[in-house]
Amino acid sequence: MTDPASPAVPFAVGSRVRLRELPAYLKSADPMPMLRPPDLVDAQEEGEVVGLRALEQLAVRFRRGTFLLEARQLEAVSP
């Protein structure tokens, strides 16, 4: 059981994040998601969390699109 005082997702909407490593594919955050090639996001590119989804998934906006990623795939970018 998790502590109710700690949030399930460590990022809030508006947080700046970066991928820990490139995934095998990216999933678009469109109403009808599509699988996209991973080279749409560069390794050190920063993105912004624009939405929180079920199962610790986040919608993150990068310069070439908004993609669904798991929270464990991301790291916070210090301001």
Q: What gap in Å lies between CA 16 and CA 13, rounded to an integer?
A: 9
- Under the banding of pLDDT at 50, 70 and 90, the label for residue 3 is very low
Q: HSE-up of 11 (CA within 13 Å, CB side)?
A: 28
Model confidence band, residue 1 (pLDDT cutoffs 50, 70, 90) = very low
| Per-residue pLDDT tens digits for 13-65 | 999 999 999 999 999 999 999 999 999 999 889 999 999 999 999 999 999 99
pTM of the full structure: 0.84
Q: Where are the domains of the chain?
A: 16-76
Which architecture, in CATH terms, is 16-76? Roll (2.30)
